[in-house]
Amino acid sequence: MHTLNLAHCDIGVSPTEWQRSRHPVDFLPKIQLAHEGIDTELLRPDATAHLTLPNGHTLRAGDPIITYVARNLEPYRGFHSFMRTLEKVQNAHPRCHTVIVGGDEVSYGQKPSDAANWREKLLREVKLDATRTHFLGKVPYDVYRRVLQVSAAHVYLTYPFVLSWSMLEAMASGCLVIGSRTGPVEEVISDGVNGLLVDFFDIGALADRLTESLQRDRALQPLRRAARQTVIDRYSLRDGEQRFRALLPALG
């Protein structure tokens, strides 16, 4: 399908260089780099942000809150690594809460063979404090935006695969992103500069980084500011529109 489309199109568009690099060399001259862009005015830090959970508990910006977002909770987006890490973090930090956004369907890969979904499977495997672990499922966009704004540490893990818009939206919101040291993420995040990187499968390292992030929130504020600036400089909605408009003359 992709080969046929690339053979017949006038211009191909890839949102990231990593995605572009996955195509056959013969097609690369045809594929232009143009990310659609992130609305950095809508998605921005808010020190007064709060999120009221279904159980009535309210979380506020500045609280020790871990966030995780995916369209669906599955291994392609590191859900298994995240859940195994979370047990360690909750033991090390008895006050932290975790907000998890995402459905139980399959976007990539397949369902587990021994459970209805990956959430059910992982909850059998790990022991979490249910009073501090909040699965919101799929939520309205405004709720999602507030989840990012109250976050103290946002986990984004992915196989070498398409980069989620949610990672850039989290950065635009001023999140401290702890990401996987995989190609799509490394194109955007430099460890210790505008976020933190860990090996995708290193549960211990991820747990250490998360615990450190909650304990040193104020000291790591420069990384949050740099994350937002990265999105403003490289992935803004205005720049995205301009990039696409610039492609139009070439189409005649």
Per-residue pLDDT of the chain (252 residues; tens, 9 = 90+): 989 999 999 999 999 999 999 999 999 999 999 999 999 999 999 999 999 999 999 999 999 999 999 999 999 999 999 999 999 999 999 999 999 999 999 999 899 999 999 999 999 999 999 999 999 999 999 999 999 999 999 999 999 999 999 999 999 999 999 999 999 999 999 999 999 999 999 999 999 999 999 999 999 999 999 999 999 999 999 999 999 999 988 776
- Angle, helix 79-92 to helix 118-125, in steps of 10 degrees: 40
Spatial contact of 200 and 81, defined as CB atoms under 8 Å apart: yes
**pTM for this structure?**
0.95
Q: Identify the pLDDT of residue 93.
A: 95
Q: Among candidates 133, 139, 187, 151, which has minimal Cα distance to 15? A: 187
What CATH fold (topology level) applies to the domain 50-234? Rossmann fold (3.40.50)
Please give the structure tokens belonging to residue 5. 């489309």
- The pLDDT of residue 188 is 98
How far is 193 from 222, CA to CA, in rounded Å? Answer: 8
Domain boundaries, the chain: 2-37+236-251, 50-234
Coil/strand/helix, residue 157: coil
Q: Which is nearest to 136 in space by CA: 127, 148, 125?
A: 148
Beta strands 133-137; 97-103: pairing state: parallel
pLDDT at 230: 98
Q: What pLDDT shows up at residue 96?
A: 97
Nearby residues of 208 by Cβ (< 8 Å), 6 or more positions away: none
| Concatenated DSSP letters of 104-147 | SS-SSS---TTSSSHHHHHHHHS---GGGEEEEES--HHHHHHH
Supply the DSSP string of 35-73, one letter for each residue.
---B-TTTS---TT-EEE-TTS-EEETTS-EEEEEEEE-
Q: Which neighbouring-strand residues pair with 178?
A: 155, 196
User: Nearest 10 degrees: CA dihedral of 139, 145, 149, 153?
Assistant: 60
Ramachandran angles phi, psi of 235, nearest 5°: -135, 30
Bridging pattern class, strands 133-137 and 58-60:
unpaired
